[in-house]
Amino acid sequence: MSKHIKLLSFFFFISFMAINAAKAEFDKALPNGKNETAFVTLSVKAFLQGAYNNNGLMNDKLRQKSLIPVVSPYNPGFTMNTSLLKNTGSHAIVDWVHIELRDGYNPRTLLGEQSALIQRDGRVVSCDGHTALFFEGLDIGRYYIVIRHRNHLAVMSHEPVLLDEVVLNTVDFTAGYAFGAKSMKINYDGTSSLFAGDANGDNTINSADQSMAWNERNQIGYLDADVSMDGFTSSTDHSMVWNNRNKSSQAP
Ligand SMILES: [Ca+2]
Ligand SMILES: [Ca+2]
């Protein structure tokens, strides 16, 4: 066996072991008798404009100020392993996000969803901190992937992605891999991020969001109007909403 093939085999073995370890964790979390169901796995990477620093990393000010809730703001069925909040550096948690799997032939049909956490480097991890996100009860196939954030515009993958139970496909929205024209903010460093400013979460950025940012000014906390994600509502948030006005999510 050539050195090359040995190295490659070793890489696949390590990947396989890592996915199996994460799957074992996932199975443990399932109710009795449900560990034999079909599932698919994927990993997701994205940046949120409000928190993005144009250097490959987002800020984690909500975490630093202990403002990130333990339970998902999108679905109370998801609770994080709080030890993840101790991570610092590129793996520090920025906030909750919500991932959806849509039918590969009819992207309006929702087939699976889960709340997850997004790190400073854009990697989305499960509530237990795994890069592999498992979706129970879904067969191998092609799915559109949607990522949502409570005050940014949701984006969907440009095309359906083949998902199965072994190969960990990554949907990298930082490379602008999104459905619809101009559906993402192009950052100064050439990466792409979800547009900030949808304070009321209705998939459009308009005067209603501006009013919200204004009405909630000078407040501290985990606030939907805090689109810059620093734990404080100020003129910065108002400006960010204004600059992105009249944009809408193009995820169907
Ligand atoms: Ca809105
Ligand atoms: Ca702010």
Do 174 and 190 have their domain in common? yes
Length of the chain: 252
124, 168 Cβ separation under 8 angstroms: no
Strand 39-45 relative to strand 133-136: parallel, antiparallel, unpaired?
antiparallel
**Ligand 1 center to residue 212 CA distance, Å?**
9
Q: Does residue 238 carry a pLDDT above 50? A: yes
- 131 in the same domain as 210: yes
89 φ, ψ (degrees, to nearest 5): 70, -150
Given the DSSP bridges, would you call strands 141-149 and 152-156 parallel, antiparallel or unpaired?
Answer: antiparallel
Residue 201: CA count within 13 A, CB half-sphere: 10
Residues with CB under 5 A from ligand 1 (ion): 198, 200, 202, 204, 209
* Lowest pLDDT segment from 17-21, 70-74, 80-84: 17-21
Q: 164 and 81, same structural domain?
A: yes
pTM, rounded to two decimals: 0.86
Q: Do residues 9 and 123 both lie within one domain? A: no
- In this predicted structure, the answer to whether residue 166 has a pLDDT above a threshold of 60 is yes
Domain that holds residue 8: 1-36
Confidence of residue 177 (pLDDT cuts 50, 70, 90): confident
Ligand 2 center–CA 128 separation, angstroms: 28
How many domains does the chain contain in total?
2
Ligand 1 centre distance from Cα of residue 119 (Å): 24
- How far apart CA 52 and CA 123 sit, in angstroms, is 13
pLDDT at 71 over 90: yes
How far apart CA 211 and CA 195 sit, in angstroms, is: 18
Specify whether 107 is located in the same domain as 7: no
The verdict on 9 and 130 lying in the same domain is no
Residue 142 CA from chain centroid, whole number? 19
Task: Give the per-residue pLDDT at 167.
Answer: 85
Average pLDDT over residues 3-26: 45
Q: Are 222 and 62 in contact (CB under 8 A)?
A: yes
pLDDT one-digit tens code per residue, 196-213? 999 999 999 999 999 999
Residue 17 sits in the same domain as residue 114: no
| Helix, strand, or coil (residue 14) | helix
CATH number of domain containing 96: 2.60.40.4130
Rg (CA), the chain: 19
If phi > 0 it is left, if psi is from -120 to 50 it is alpha, else beta; for residue 209 that is alpha
Per-residue pLDDT at 178 exceeds 50:
yes
142 versus 15: the higher-pLDDT residue is 142
